[in-house]
Amino acid sequence: MLRRLLSTLGAGLVLALGGLAQAAAPPRIDLTVAPAWQGWTRPGRATEIDVRLDADTASRATLDLVAGRQSVRADLDLQPGRTARLQLPIASAETLTLRVGTPDGPVLQRELRLSQSESPLLGSALASGTPLALEGFHTVALTADDLPRSASAYASVDALALDAPTLSALDRRQLVALLAHAAGCGRIVVIQADARTRGLLAGAGGCGGRALMQAGSAAEAGDQLRASLASSLPAALPTAALRELAPRDQRVWSRVATGLALYFAAATLLLVFAPGWPMLLAAALAALAAVPLLHTLRPPSQLLVWSEGESGAPVARYQAWQQFPGVVRERTRAALAPQLASFAQPCEPGQPLQFDLDPGRGQASSVAFETRLFQPVALCYAGSFPVARTVAATPLGDGGHEVHNTGAKAWPAGQWLEGPQVGDLPALAPDARAVVHPAPATPRRDAVLRRALTRTQGEGLAALWPLDLAGVAGAPVESRGWLLVSVPTP
Amino acid sequence: MSASLPARHALRLAAVAGLLLAAAVALWWLGSSRIALDRGSDASRHAAHALQALALARGMVLAVLGLRLGAVFGGRVGSLAGLGLLAPAWPVVVLAWSASTAAMAPWLLAEAGLLAGAAALALVGAGLRRAVRPATAELLATALGTLLVAALWFGRGLWAPALA
């Protein structure tokens, strides 16, 4: 009897332990990693890593991709039988480290080596025929799947040739990224585009459409790229120039200086009228209160957007700069404006940052970084947005211009730039006209006007408007932006 | 802090010295940080220098003042004077540390070391007062303090990197 009871208990124990072992078994994860552009990139540029994860049980996983001092993190819900696929935009580095961790299981780690080309890269995504070749370029033969899904990763290649079959094989996110790259004046030649593709690409190219070319054959595509490379496209505004547009933010410094001045004044008064313990107590209290006080006096971040386009063009390309002031030593997490987050990167390449990726949207939702007093951290953004400014200018005999809003949308008031001269441009309704008489710009002109005049080539005409950033969700309170539209000379 | 009139004057002198020293370093640090911010360069280096300057200058003044006041007025007044010398710089130390890349533990140890040093020097001064005649004690305290100042200055290559 006792023996039967013991054997029953033993069997139960074995079953229970087996069940526990089954419940505690970590999920088995299959990880596949593929870099965009067949692993080719250029030093200092951005690229993208395509990650696929398969798990045999439902589990949560955290994915960390580290490239030098930058990293991207994403939290994933893994389901059995369903492949989780994620594209991680990341700064170029010789070696990338990918770690996948689950709550119970061991950390899965992969080292990934990228080929960093010293020569300019030509991406050749031709479904038929041999890859295109250009003198001085390193050609990378690509398939549709090698093209990235984030616009920032297009920085890895200097020119791209693709044909209609490849173009039609791109998924929606790849197409959006390609069009964003085209709007940002990326050199792209499309070979044997059909009518539908031509319609899709019409007006999508930035820089007056000079960077987005169409060719009938590979040989013609090569010629077009050579001709395009022989002429320079308007370069994007350098980060330093963008930063100059922001007034120097010395609020943190002023607050620290004022706080210390008040402390020294109080300490001196105490020393004169109540020497001894009150002064020591004041010093100790001031030291304890300094850091919490700095926390409460933290100024908001600043956002600057500079955009440029051509009259009548459907898109304008922009560059933005956002500065987070440093007040204390801490790890700060800041939410990114969704409209800007598709191309976010540190303005200083050596700045350690961790982007948190939203797997649903496939782009960064927040960024974490270390701050300290007097050490602001700046993020740089780039991209394009739809715009509708069509300007016609007719010269008048007296040196002025009649400016005509030939578009379908009204303009706000702005500035009219004519060579080195500047005039006020009134708000104009569709089809309205105004006569502008610009005067030589005075030395007192502000940094924005100075930059706009620098960007307006020679005796060219341009209009400068302030951008209304109220529609940018998540933009900080202190946001300023400008749109410079070059106008064809009559 | 009930003490005789000369002792009170000595305590006030130490506090004034501490306040002036802290104000001078704060002024230099804020000025150099402002220049760095205007140029867009790294301001943390100036904060680290300010921290080291505060540690060195307070340590040097403490070496002379603590020993001498201990020898003249006794250990209690000497210790309090040391505290009065060190404390006014605490808010500057906290802010400069916030702006620097230095680790926290070495600076907490350095401040604790300075406080312990203030007490120890005052006690050594008081011991000298008991051991020898007052005039000799003052002389010995001053000589010992000067030696300590020289040791701090010439040995800064040894302790300063530990605080960086």
- DSSP per residue over A386-430, as a string? E----EEEEE-TTS-EEEEE-SSS----EEEEETTEEEEE----T
**Structure-block tokens of residue A220:** 């013609």
Q: Which residues of chain B lie closer than 8 angstroms to A281, CB-CB?
A: none
Per-residue model confidence (pLDDT) at position A246: 83
Per-residue model confidence (pLDDT) at position A445: 62
Per-residue model confidence (pLDDT) at position A41: 96
* CB contact at 8 A, A415 and A482: no
ipTM above 0.95, yes or no: no
Contact assignment for A374 to B94 by CB distance below 8 Å: no
How far is Cα A166 from Cα A151, in angstroms, rounded to an integer?
Answer: 17
- β-strand partners of A418: A421, A461
Q: How far is CA A444 from the centre of its chain?
A: 33
How far is Cα A31 from Cα A101, in angstroms, rounded to an integer?
Answer: 11
Q: What residue in A sits closest to B77 (Cα-Cα)?
A: A276
Which residues are CB-contacts of A397 (< 8 A; sequence separation ≥ 6)? none
Per-residue model confidence (pLDDT) at position A11: 53
Per-residue model confidence (pLDDT) at position A393: 92
- Give the whole-number percent of chain B exceeding pLDDT 70: 96
The residue behind tokens 């390193």 is A138
- pLDDT, tens digit only, all 490 positions of chain A: 445 655 555 555 444 544 444 455 678 889 999 999 999 999 989 999 999 999 888 889 999 999 989 999 999 999 998 999 999 999 899 999 999 998 878 889 999 999 999 999 999 999 877 788 899 999 999 999 999 999 889 999 999 999 989 998 999 999 989 998 998 889 999 998 888 888 878 777 878 778 889 998 888 999 999 998 888 877 888 888 888 888 778 889 999 999 999 999 999 999 888 877 888 899 999 999 998 888 888 888 999 999 998 898 888 889 999 999 989 899 999 999 998 888 888 998 888 999 999 988 888 999 999 999 999 999 999 988 888 899 999 998 887 899 999 999 999 999 999 888 889 999 999 999 999 988 876 655 688 888 898 888 677 899 999 999 988 888 888 899 999 999 988 7
Per-residue model confidence (pLDDT) at position A1: 47
Per-residue model confidence (pLDDT) at position A454: 86
How far is Cα A215 from Cα A368, in angstroms, rounded to an integer?
Answer: 45
Per-residue model confidence (pLDDT) at position A18: 47
The alpha carbon of residue A446 is apart from the nearest alpha carbon of chain B, in Å, by 18
* CB contact at 8 A, B97 and A330: no
* CB contact at 8 A, A489 and A460: yes
**Contact residues, chain A to chain B, C-beta under 8 Å:** 243, 248, 250, 253, 256-257, 260, 263-264, 267-268, 271, 275-277, 279-280, 283-284, 286-287, 290-291, 294, 327-329, 372-375
B residues 102-161 lying closer than 8 A (beta carbon) to A: none
The alpha carbon of residue A47 is apart from the nearest alpha carbon of chain B, in Å, by 28
Q: Which of B11, B94, B99 sits opposite A287 (nearest CB)?
A: B94
* pTM of the complete model: 0.83
List pLDDT tens digits, range B86-142. 999 999 999 999 999 999 999 999 999 999 999 999 999 999 988 988 889 889 999
Q: Which of A248, A268, A284 sits opposite B90 (nearest CB)?
A: A284
Q: What are phi and psi of A355, to 5 degrees?
A: -90, 135
Per-residue model confidence (pLDDT) at position B97: 95
* CB contact at 8 A, A352 and A70: yes
Q: How far is CA A365 from the centre of its chain?
A: 11
Q: Which of B16, B19, B37 sits opposite A374 (nearest CB)?
A: B37
Contact assignment for A284 to B87 by CB distance below 8 Å: yes
For the stretch B102-105, contacts whose Cβ atoms lie closer than 8 Å and that sit 24 or more positions apart, written own/partner, are: B102/B48, B102/B51, B102/B163, B102/B164
pLDDT band for B40, please (50, 70, 90 cuts): confident
Tell me the CA distances in angstroms from A401 to A309, A392, A418, A435, A459, one per residue in order. Answer: 20, 10, 9, 6, 13
Listed residue (B55, B83, B87, B57) closest to B70, CA to CA: B83
Per-residue model confidence (pLDDT) at position B156: 86
Per-residue model confidence (pLDDT) at position A10: 55
How far is Cα A128 from Cα A156, in angstroms, rounded to an integer?
Answer: 23
Q: Is B83 on the interface with A (CB under 8 A)?
A: yes
The residue behind tokens 């950390």 is A107
Which residues are CB-contacts of A415 (< 8 A; sequence separation ≥ 6)? A422, A423, A424, A425, A449, A452, A463, A464, A465
How far is Cα A480 from Cα B135, in angstroms, rounded to an integer?
Answer: 72
List pLDDT tens digits, range B142-162. 999 999 999 999 988 888 887
Contact assignment for A374 to B30 by CB distance below 8 Å: no
How far is Cα B110 from Cα A405, in angstroms, rounded to an integer?
Answer: 69
